[in-house]
Structure 1
Amino acid sequence: MDYFIKNTKDLLYDRPLHTTTGFSSITQNIGSMRNTGFEFNVESHNIMNDRFSWDTQFNISTIKNKLTSLIDEKPIPVGNHVLQVGQPIGSFYMYKMDGIYQDNQEVPEKLYAKGVRAGDIKYADKDNDGDLTPADKEIVGKPLPDFFGGLTNRFRYGNFDLTIFNTFSVGNDVYATGMGGIDAVGHNNYGMRKDIAANRWTGPGTNNSIPRAMISTHNTQASTYLLHDGSYFKFKDVTLGYTLPSNLTQKLNISNMRVYLSAQNLWTISSYPGYDPEVSYSVNNSKTMGEDAMTVPQLRTFVCGFNLTF
């Protein structure tokens, strides 16, 4: 097991500038950050005999990231994220959904004047001013997982062999920005997911998590409505092989022959409603870190082949 602490200073970043400068941003050293965590690896030979064997390899890593200093010590909002001292880099910064307005009497006067009605999303009013403003945004999640790793099991029975490789990630959030179109419930002419259309709010008490069908920019604000748990457990690779008996390979004038069938990205266990929680993860851009723009998921592929040794 290894434990690590890494301090990084003079972070380069495109810091946003006011429009009056004539420039959108400037690249400069904005601060420092710290990464801490551990890496653990273990290998075991669970069963070993002439007919059957079972080996396991397991690895798990954790990483805790936080910004330790920023220029002027002021938070820097970046898209749907924020850079803030004491918080993980790229933390999600948006409105927090607090249910659905069930009747018009619940709607604050200022929002009612803007067209908000029963069936629209209720956002947490952080500053208690009865309105929806950028001051109501807050840190609501993080794109980095609490821990991640892999698991490999290898089985052999006679001439057959089976290898199952799994990967997992736990504790990261994914903002399904690409699903904003199909989950907007009537805001545009995109298609709509069946469960969203069937379970949307249609009257008091019918739903407290999916808004009404209505053309309204109020319901399309960046919020926890589209923020989901991105944890997953994947069957990344499953391979079944068979090695021909030596008496048969000798007749074929070869020393060894193995045929196999392999499947990649066979199955993903996750509560994430999008295509693939893994492809949404970007470690290189804190502006889109952990955002899923409905990227094409990793393809499920099947391969059949053989290995020959002469």
Structure 2
Amino acid sequence: MRMNHRLRWAAIPIAATLTIFLAGCSTAQLNGYLPGFEEGQEAVTNQTERVSGLWTTSWIVLLIVGIITWGLTIWTVVVYRRRKGQTGLPPQLRYNMPIEIFYTVVPLILVVGFFAFTARDQAAIEARFDAPDVQIEVQAKQWAWDFNYVDENVYSAGVQAQPDPDGETGAILQEELPTLVLPVDQKIEIALEARDVIHSFWVIDFLYKKDLVPGKTNYMSVIPERIGTYAGKCAELCGEYHSLMLFNVEVVSQEDYDTYIDSLRAAGNDGQLDNEFDRNQTQPGTGAPTAQEDN
């Protein structure tokens, strides 16, 4: 009873200190300093907080485990060090069942817990919408991006990033980057395809990326919740100019989205871009004629 009473009094100041500490944290601090968050504003997408929560909670748990492990290690080294005048070996113990059960069961619980929460969040993030409001098709190519607006039957073709001659070393002409325009607060389904090699569609502030594999269509389902411009890039080494395979995502109001679609149609960008320039169509196993057959 006395021990429980002491633990209770020790828990009160610890809980109060933790509450005050967390209450004073900024949005960035509470989300592990990850991109996609701004003070007093919505997260960029409906899944950004979920990803951040998984990441931040994992680090907190690992930090606590690390502190306990290093604390016990240092405590053992200090308390049981050889002192002046001591000779011989200390008492030798072959095993300690409670401790062995503890350091077997606790790591197992941690691993199972990490797996369970990761599987839960992954299932939610990867779930496709039954009835998306907007369907987009992304065609990756060395080294740029094309965007098909499927429902509106228009497209936007992109070129790889261009250096800014008037900017600092390494500066890029932002107005030249391929730009994917999305309406805010709408269910967006993005079909991801590659024309040549494996690429990876990464919108940094979305805290989410997905590979584009030739011959396979992957999907990304997301609801943008904050208007703004967000940087994107290819996150898979895809050749000589991989570093120039950049793009932007602009989240706009529905009115501005409709205006943008009308501008594409007025520019003559009707229809959809496909895999016509897919150089993998000439690879063995695709049915393309070989050099021997040509002879």
On whether the aligned pair clears a TM of 0.5, the verdict is no
> Which of the pair is proportionally richer in strand?
1
Return the structure number with greater relative CO, CA threshold 8 A, min gap 6. 2
TM-score computed with the length of structure 1 as normaliser: 0.16
> Which of the pair is proportionally richer in helix?
2
